[in-house]
Amino acid sequence: MFKNFLKIFVLIFLIILGFDTSNLNADNHTPDMDFSFLPKFVHYQGEIKVNGKNLSEIETAVEFIEVVFVNQKQNVSVGGKQIEVEEGQFQFKTFYGDPVNSKYHIDIGPGVPEETKFDIYVAGVKANESIVFNPTPQGGCPVSNCFNRELDITINTIPTPTPTPVPPTPTPLPTVNPSFYSGQIIIGSSPVPDGIEVFAKIADYISDVVITSDGRYTVNVNPKTANYVGQDIYLIIQGNQSITSLPFNPDEFISDANFLFDNFEVKIEDDPVPTPEPEKIIVVATPTPEVQKTEINTAEQGLGNESGGCGGGASSISIFSVLTSILMVTLYRKSRKRQNNAV
């Protein structure tokens, strides 16, 4: 076992000795790697200085200082063809101090044509430096997208916050009085039918709707502000605008303001058919006849009457009183008979 291991070790040693190491160095044996399929970009970083002083040492009122790379207007070569690139077509932004304090970091690319020139702005202030996008490795880096660029930026003024624009207070327009217009309306060669809705229009102003009568109209035009003075008044009927007009002026009372329309079919709505009212059924309630109650008063009834007989005159003794009297007499007689039998 040991002998086999020793043979393998000696063989490896001899192979190593067989190499010519005289040509091995870091310069001529750098791998020739082509990574053109990777996206091309350049990473820039550096300090920002104002008149030789680091921006981080200067007190500014800007909370977030934006650094922007904006391409110039130029012609660049893409695929062997010259194309025009408009200014600002490519923009890249970052913030000063993010992620490293006192520095900026930004990636330019991918998707940018090579040799594209960029201007640099710090919080809106144009820097003294500019760059040319050249995604070519530097410093002997063997990988075609392996690079960083150190670029310090200098500006001549301190960035100040952009003031919030305050819109100017609009000057109110002077007001004007309304005007009244009336006259005939001719559609084609016929007067307008009665009952047709019409309104006046001046630019974006629309009057109230009025109804025609006897081929005429009367409308109050009140746009209220002076900017409508002198502009043309048109009449509108069912979406059709008059072909004649007249200028608006306040405080006018014109009774012959006639308007002409191109011929069109006026839609006249039929009078709505009144809905018949349901027939009213009157129910007369028949009163229920009252049953007369006969009151019997036994306390004041007597056996006789004022005439002294049973047949003469009208008797006020009721049948019940008579029967009661007969019953009392019968009971009295039986009682007397029992008393006599007892003696």
Query: In residues, how long is the chain?
Result: 343
Give the CATH number for residue 71: 2.60.40
More confident residue, 338 or 64: 64
Q: Are residues 200 and 143 in the same domain?
A: no
Q: Which residue in this structure is represented by tokens 């006018």?
A: 252
Q: Are residues 184 and 115 in the same domain?
A: no
Q: Please give the residue range of the domain that contains residue 132.
A: 42-155
Please give the structure tokens belonging to residue 249.
């002026």
3-class secondary-structure state, position 38:
coil
CA distances from 81 to 73, 95, 117, 118, 331 (A): 16, 35, 17, 20, 154
If you count DSSP H runs as helices and E runs as strands, how many of each does the chain have, helices first?
2, 23
Check whether 267 has a pLDDT greater than 60: yes
Q: Is residue 163 part of a domain?
A: no
Say if CB 223 and CB 181 are below 8 A apart: no
Quote the CA–CA distance of 35 and 61 in Å, as a whole number: 45
Check whether 26 has a pLDDT greater than 80: no
Q: Is residue 266 part of a domain?
A: no
Confidence (pLDDT) at 274: 67
Neighbouring CB atoms inside 10 A of 130's CB total 13
Pairing of strands 148-150, 42-46: parallel
Q: Is residue 10 part of a domain?
A: no
Q: Are residues 61 and 103 in the same domain?
A: yes
Q: End of a domain among 237, 261, 285?
A: 261
- What is the value of pTM for the model shown? 0.38
Positions of E strands within 8-115: 42-46, 48-50, 53-54, 66-71, 74-78, 81-85, 91-95, 104-108
Q: End of a domain among 241, 261, 281?
A: 261
Confidence (pLDDT) at 16: 58
Q: End of a domain among 246, 261, 276?
A: 261
pLDDT (average), residues 109-127: 91
Q: Which residue in this structure is represented by tokens 């000696």?
A: 10
CA distances from 48 to 100, 116, 289 (A): 13, 22, 116
Pairing of strands 179-187, 253-254: parallel
Domain count, the chain: 2
- The 3-class SS string of 161-212 reads CCCCCCCCCCCCCCECCCEEEEEEEEECCEECCCCCEEEEEECCEECCCEEC
Q: Are residues 52 and 149 in the same domain?
A: yes
Q: Is residue 329 part of a domain?
A: no
Positions of E strands within 25-65: 42-46, 48-50, 53-54
User: Residue 179 — very low, low, confident or very high, per pLDDT cuts 50/70/90?
Assistant: very high
3-class secondary-structure state, position 3:
helix
CA 342 vs. chain centroid, Å, equals 122
User: Residue 165 — very low, low, confident or very high, per pLDDT cuts 50/70/90?
Assistant: confident
Check whether 245 has a pLDDT greater than 50: yes
Share of the chain above pLDDT 70, in %: 70
